[in-house]
Structure formats: structure tokens, C-alpha cells
């Protein structure tokens, strides 16, 4: 019965989309990832990027609009359908848009793997979900956001992101704040908020500044950057992403009983992206450098020596990726070379260096986009080389 109800809900949503298509813009997408062959054999994968949605819908006019996205877990019960996001926006004034629901503000993000955006995190953090998918510059969650364009070229974003079911003034305790000493911290909410100002410069590009606060006791971020589009065929941006956090957040987890440390800048990432196109050929590249600063703290998960402090500095590191493509009609061959996190400590390079090599091609076939490649992963010292022939099929209508 439960499966029937879930299937009925999906069918109803699709019917609504089909009906609304006559009155508004509508889009549906089905995406499938698989390994045709390789180290692990033939495997149909769950999509592991941040926004892989089975169905998307949007509708709008000049003064209001709405959108929602559905996602399904193909690795478990295939009838399990999740509402990834939903949003409604209104424009009471030409210069003001107010959005409710899943909202977020964004600065400059690279377009090879748009979700891999370093923000001054440690290597431990950059391998976690929250730090790896961090392309938002003001916040991203359930909440409310104001986007203003008071004069030509100037865009201002203000938002508060407490998450669904939480008050904008305080939130329910979660594992990250449950043990907080309220006598020491008068406010222990986790509501995130942020602001961004971006100004377009005619004949050059744009510049921006942004601030994001993930909530009391949680990390804060400052960004300053600019992009350039004045040279024909070239687009580039550079931004400085500064991360302020307590000492024990550097390990990607938090518990109040351990030495919390003081807020200070723990890392700064010089993020960057470059793309040059000439005819059917294009090459895109990025090599963000993260410099880690400040003290770290040593503790074990059993609580022994919980407050022992070690005067050391996290390893600084660089991530990089290069992608070259050449369009030949409906077929576009490409080559990707990348390394997720290579430390800048020369005594550790041999032990930490890894490499991904991925030649492949995309093929457009009347609404269906196919991506077939050979992916070889050379791990850090001591690991086994793995390979796969990944195939991605993406059909939109």
C-alpha cells in the first residue's frame, strides 16, 4: 500500500506538470549513472552530485513564480521519492524579489564540477559532504531571501536559512549543539544567514563581496572576488574564500565536551576558474590553493585527554582540474585530468598524491545526452589503481 501511495504521488506530480505545460514553462529530466565495466564490474549508480533530480518543474510570470524538484533513491527502495526542494517567489517591486522555501545565494562557481568549491576547509573537511558542496556564498537551506537590484549593475542578496521546521530566532538542538553550556553561550541557535553585494562593471566583468554565518558556534565565511569577460573567448574568475571557525571544527565534526577553541581564521582558499574557447575547441582549468592557519586540537573519541592542545598547523593543499573538449557535430570528445586534494607539504607529496584520468565523449541524440568515458584513478601511495567505464544518460523533455 505504501509503495502504491508513493507511486501515485509521483504519477500525480507528473500529471500536474503535463497539465501546467500548456500555461507555463515546464521541464522534466531523467538521469542515470552506471559503470558499464571496470574494477567493480557492471554497476548502476546512485547519482552522487548534490542536485540530481528525477523531475523538475517551474512556472513563472512577471510578478511571481514557483519550482520544485523530486529525487528518488535508486540504491534502496526505488519507490522512495523525496522532495529535494520547493520554492515560491514574488516581485512586489521591479527591484525586489522575495523567495520562500529552498533558497540560496551564489557567487562565482566553476563549471567543470560546479559543486567542488573549496572554502578554506581542512583536508578532512573538504572530503565531507558539507564542505565539498559549498558553492553558495550567503547560505542554502529552507528560509527566506531578498534579492534587490536598486540600480543598474548592482545586485544585493540578503537571506536567513534556519531550515524547515525551525524558528528564525532559534532552532532545535541538534548533535552539533546539544551539549552547549547555555550559561556560557546565551544563544545556541543554528540559523544561518548571509549577505552578498555584486556589481557589474561594463567592459570588464563584475566584483563581489559576501558574508555567510552558519549559526552560533559554527563556521563563518567571507568572500571577495571578481570575474572577467572582456577578452573574446575567455572567461575567468578569482575569489578569496576565508573560513573562520573554532579549533575542533577543523576535523569536520564538533562536540562541546572537547576543547572548543576560539573563533579565528583557520583557512583561506584562493579559488579560481578559467575557460577559453576558440571555434569548436575549449579548455577549462582550475587550481584553487587552500592555506590552513591557526592551532588544532588533539582528542580521541573516547573522551580521554579531551582538552590536550597541539601547536601545529593543518596541511595546506591544492585541488586542480583541467578539461579539454573538441566538438565534432553531435559528438564532443573530451579529456579530464584532476586531483582532489594534494598537500603542499613536500615531505608528504609522495604519500598523498592521487590522480584521475578520464578520456571520453558526449553524444547528443534528439533530447538524450550520453556521456561515455574511461576513468582511471591512481590513488595515494599504497592504494590500488581502479578503473571503470562510466556511462551517464540524461534525457530532458
Give the start-to-end residue ranges of the domains of the chain.
Answer: 95-314
pLDDT of residue 247: 63
- Residue 18 predicted with pLDDT over 70: no
* Residue 273: pLDDT band with limits 50, 70, 90: very high
Task: Over range 296-300, report the average pLDDT.
Answer: 48
* Residue 73: pLDDT band with limits 50, 70, 90: low
pLDDT of residue 61: 86
* Residue 219: pLDDT band with limits 50, 70, 90: confident
Choose from 16-20, 73-77, 154-158, 191-195 the range with maximum mean pLDDT. Answer: 154-158
pLDDT of residue 154: 97
- Residue 5 predicted with pLDDT over 80: no
**Pick from 56-65, 174-183, 211-220, 334-343: least confident:** 174-183
pLDDT of residue 137: 93
Residue predicted with more confidence, 165 or 65: 65
* Residue 367: pLDDT band with limits 50, 70, 90: confident
- Residue 159 predicted with pLDDT over 90: yes
Three-state SS for the chain is CHHHHHHHHHHHHHHHHHHHCCCCCCCCEEEEEEEEEECCCCEEECCCCCCCCCEEEEEECCCEEEEEEEEECCCCCCCCEEEEEEEEEEEEECCEEEEEEEEEEECCCCCCCCCECCCCCCHHHHCCHHHHECCEEEEEEEEEEEEECCCCCEEEEEEEECCCCCCCCCCCCCCCCCCCCCCCCCCCCCCEEEEEEEEEECCCEEEEEEEEECCCCCCEEEEEEEEECCCCCEEEEEEEEEEEECHHHHHCCCCCCCCCCCCEEEEEEEEEEEEEEECCEEEEEECCEEEECCCEECCCCCCCCCCCEECCCCCCEEEEEEEEEECECCEEEEEEEEEEEEECCCCCHHHHCCEEEEEEEEEEECCEEEEEECEEEECCCCCCCEEEEEEEEEEEC
Amino acid at each position: 500500500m505504501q509503495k502504491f501511495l508513493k507511486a501515485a504521488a509521483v504519477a500525480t506530480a507528473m500529471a500536474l506538470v503535463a497539465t501546467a505545460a500548456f500555461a507555463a514553462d515546464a521541464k522534466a529530466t531523467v538521469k542515470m549513472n552506471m559503470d558499464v565495466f571496470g574494477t567493480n564490474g557492471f554497476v548502476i549508480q546512485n547519482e552522487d552530485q548534490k542536485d540530481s533530480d528525477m523531475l523538475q518543474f517551474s512556472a513563472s510570470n512577471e510578478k511571481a513564480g514557483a519550482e520544485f524538484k523530486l529525487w528518488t533513491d535508486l540504491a534502496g527502495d526505488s519507490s522512495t521519492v523525496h522532495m529535494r526542494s520547493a520554492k515560491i517567489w514574488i516581485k512586489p517591486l521591479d527591484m525586489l524579489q522575495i523567495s520562500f522555501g529552498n533558497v540560496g545565494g551564489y557567487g562565482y562557481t566553476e563549471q567543470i564540477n560546479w559543486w567542488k568549491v573549496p572554502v578554506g576547509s581542512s583536508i578532512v573537511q573538504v572530503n565531507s559532504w558539507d564542505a565539498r558542496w559549498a558553492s553558495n556564498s550567503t547560505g542554502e537551506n529552507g528560509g527566506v531571501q531578498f534579492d534587490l537590484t536598486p540600480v543598474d549593475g548592482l545586485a544585493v542578496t540578503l537571506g536567513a536559512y534556519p531550515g524547515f521546521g525551525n524558528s528564525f530566532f532559534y532552532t532545535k538542538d541538534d548533535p552539533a549543539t546539544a551539549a552547549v553550556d547555555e550559561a556560557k553561550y546565551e544563544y545556541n541557535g543554528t540559523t544561518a544567514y548571509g549577505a552578498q553585494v555584486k556589481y557589474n562593471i561594463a567592459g570588464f566583468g563584475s566584483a563581489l563581496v559576501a558574508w555567510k554565518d552558519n549559526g552560533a558556534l559554527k563556521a563563518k565565511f567571507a568572500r571577495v572576488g571578481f570575474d572577467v569577460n572582456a577578452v573574446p573567448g575567455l572567461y575567468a574568475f578569482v575569489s578569496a574564500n576565508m573560513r573562520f571557525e573554532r579549533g575542533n571544527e577543523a576535523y569536520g565534526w564538533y562536540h562541546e565536551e572537547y576543547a572548543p577553541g576560539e573563533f579565528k581564521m583557520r583557512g583561506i582558499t584562493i579559488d579560481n576558474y578559467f575557460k577559453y574557447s576558440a571555434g569548436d575547441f575549449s579548455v577549462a582549468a582550475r587550481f584553487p590553493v587552500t592555506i590552513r592557519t591557526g592551532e588544532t586540537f588533539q582528542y580521541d573519541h573516547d573522551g580521554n585527554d579531551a582538552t590536550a592542545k597541539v601547536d601545529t598547523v593543518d596541511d595546506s593543499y591544492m585541488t586542480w582540474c583541467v578539461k579539454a573538449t573538441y566538438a565534432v557535430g553531435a559528438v564532443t570528445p573530451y579529456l579530464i585530468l584532476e586531483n582532489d586534494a594534494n598537500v603542499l607539504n613536500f615531505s608528504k607529496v609522495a604519500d598523498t598524491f592521487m590522480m584521475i584520468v578520464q578520456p571520453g565523449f558526449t553524444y547528443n541524440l534528439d533530447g538524450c545526452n550520453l556521456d561515455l568515458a574511461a576513468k582511471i584513478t591512481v590513488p595515494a601511495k599504497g592504494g590500488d589503481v581502479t578503473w571503470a567505464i562510466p556511462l551517464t544518460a540524461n534525457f530532458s523533455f
